[in-house]
């Protein structure tokens, strides 16, 4: 039963409440009991002094024997009023008179404070004695013995009150503990249910209104994680869909042409055209696969860190030469500005630099209209080399700017099929 967090937390709270309240109640009960005994002891001291004042006249004449009958009357009245045992002793601790002759303990006649011990009948009794003084001389001692049942009855009443308080506050503490535990575990249960639903494929699962505390922070983190997972899964699904579509397109073209070459009688010129188209589709397919492989290496952090010394200007010139036919077909005007220094060298992977520059420049060429202008500017500073590509093409809508790095994203879906490319260039 103690395997769950809720059960362990409840056991801890209840244990602390029961032990804490129990120890506090025991300590309070002992203090209260001792206080009751001390109070009765002080009361007995006052009463013995008062009785001593009443008995002084009976004992102050040295040559006259004390009037025992009068002394017995005084102490009998006091004993009846106090429900106690009263005795008077002379200076030699000899008994003069007692309210109950059978219950007098002579050895206690001169005690300085109260003591608790059984009387001659075995009844637990609190004794207190005070000297009877006259003009600095001791005339005797008056002793009162109070049955312990009287202060014990008062102490029991207080104990019962403490016990009732202990039970009440323990139950109250238990109810508060249950409430607190429910407040603590409810968000955890919601988080568990949401996690299970998310694991089962419900990517819309979120924690509703997380609290502003530590557990609420976990809820906010879960919501952020769920949003990221949903976005990643959506991106992966779109990636798989687009990749399969882009792979299928050249494969379909290849299959159509190979079937025609295999089964249909074609003239030499048509065969040559089909072979050239097959080569173009194979190159397109090879480029797409290379891009996908490079993206997978980026995702798995397996992209090699380049250690080559790469001249950026030379790479740009080489890329421009590969795009020369497209630039000439559109009659684009290209302006290329380089720094005064002969070389713009960076430490990088040559293939990566070539891929980046080829994708950016081919993107600019594709979307620049006929007779448009293309400006390339290379600058250097202490931080490295900066390459700026400016064209006067259609541009990118502001709402599309956050998405241009996403795979297979193309701005104008209606016209994107008219422009070659699959939407991986800027992602790379």
* pLDDT value at residue 362: 87
- Selection from 49, 199, 326, 69 nearest residue 77 by Cα: 69
- Rounded CA separation 302/223 (Å): 30
**125 in helix, strand or coil?**
strand
* pLDDT value at residue 2: 45
* pLDDT value at residue 415: 45
Q: Are 326 and 363 in contact (CB under 8 A)?
A: no
* pLDDT value at residue 282: 85
Q: Are 315 and 361 in contact (CB under 8 A)?
A: no
- Selection from 50, 129, 146 nearest residue 95 by Cα: 129
As beta bridge partners, residue 331 has: none
pLDDT digits (tens, 9 = 90+) for 367-384: 888 999 999 999 888 888
Start-to-end CA distance of the chain, whole Å, equals 55
Q: Are 377 and 337 in contact (CB under 8 A)?
A: yes
* pLDDT value at residue 120: 78
Helix (H) / strand (E) containing 347:
strand 345-348
**Within 10 A of 28 (CB to CB), how many other CB atoms are there?**
15
* pLDDT value at residue 423: 67
Q: CA geometry: angle at 402 spanning 396 and 404, to 5°?
A: 60
Helices (H) and strands (E) in the chain, counts: 9, 10
Q: Within a 13 Å sphere around the CA of 133, how many CA atoms are in the beta-carbon half?
A: 7
Q: CA geometry: angle at 288 spanning 282 and 290, to 5°?
A: 100
Rounded to two decimals, the pTM is: 0.46
* pLDDT value at residue 66: 75
Q: Are 363 and 426 in contact (CB under 8 A)?
A: yes
**304 in helix, strand or coil?**
coil
* pLDDT value at residue 406: 75
Q: Within a 13 Å sphere around the CA of 112, how many CA atoms are in the beta-carbon half?
A: 0
Burial pattern 311-323, b for ≥16 Cβ within 10 A else e, equals bbbebbeebbeeb
Task: Using CA atoms of 176, 181, 184, 186 in order, give the dihedral in degrees to the nearest 10.
Answer: -110
Ranges in the chain, pLDDT < 70: 1-6, 62-64, 102, 104-112, 242, 246, 341-343, 408, 410-423, 425
């Amino acid at each position: 039963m103690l395997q769950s967090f809720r059960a362990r937390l409840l056991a801890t709270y209840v244990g602390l409440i029961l032990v804490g309240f129990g120890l506090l109640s025991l300590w309070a009960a002992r203090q209260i009991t001792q206080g009751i005994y001390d109070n009765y002891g002080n009361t007995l001291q006052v009463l013995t002094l008062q009785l001593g004042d009443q008995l002084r006249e009976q004992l102050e004449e040295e040559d006259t024997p004390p009037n025992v009958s009068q002394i017995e009357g005084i102490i009998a009245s006091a004993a009846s009023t106090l429900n106690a045992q009263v005795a008077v002793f002379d200076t030699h601790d000899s008994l003069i008179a007692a309210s109950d002759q059978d219950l007098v303990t002579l050895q206690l006649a001169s005690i300085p404070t109260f003591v608790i011990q059984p009387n001659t009948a075995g009844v637990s009794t609190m004794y207190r004695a005070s000297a009877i003084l006259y003009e600095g001389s001791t005339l005797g001692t008056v002793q009162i013995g109070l049955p312990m049942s009287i202060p014990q009855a008062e102490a029991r009443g207080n104990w019962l009150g403490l016990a009732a308080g202990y039970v009440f506050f323990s139950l109250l503490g238990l109810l508060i503990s249950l409430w607190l535990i429910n407040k603590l575990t409810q968000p955890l249960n919601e988080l568990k249910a949401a996690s299970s639903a998310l694991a089962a494929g419900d990517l819309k699962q979120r924690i509703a209104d997380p609290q502003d505390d530590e557990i609420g922070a976990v809820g906010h983190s879960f919501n952020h994680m769920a949003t990221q997972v949903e976005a990643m899964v959506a991106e992966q699904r779109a990636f798989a869909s687009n990749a399969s579509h882009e792979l299928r397109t050249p494969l379909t073209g290849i299959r159509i042409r190979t079937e025609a070459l295999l089964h249909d009688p074609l003239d030499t010129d048509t065969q040559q055209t089909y072979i050239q188209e097959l080569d173009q589709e194979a190159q397109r397919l090879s480029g797409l696969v290379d891009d996908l492989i490079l993206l997978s290496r980026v995702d798995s952090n397996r992209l090699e860190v380049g250690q080559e010394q790469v001249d950026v200007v030379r790479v740009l010139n080489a890329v421009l030469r590969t795009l020369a036919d497209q630039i000439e077909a559109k009659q684009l005007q290209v302006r290329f500005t380089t720094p005064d220094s002969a070389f713009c060298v960076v430490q990088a992977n040559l293939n990566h630099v070539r891929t980046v520059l080829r994708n950016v420049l081919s993107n600019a060429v594709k979307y620049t209209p006929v007779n448009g202008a293309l400006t390339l500017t290379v600058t250097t500073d202490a931080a490295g080399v900066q390459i700026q590509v400016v064209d006067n093409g259609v541009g990118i809508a502001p709402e599309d700017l956050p998405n241009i790095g996403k795979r297979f994203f193309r701005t104008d879906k209606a016209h994107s099929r008219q422009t070659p490319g699959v939407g991986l260039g800027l992602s790379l």
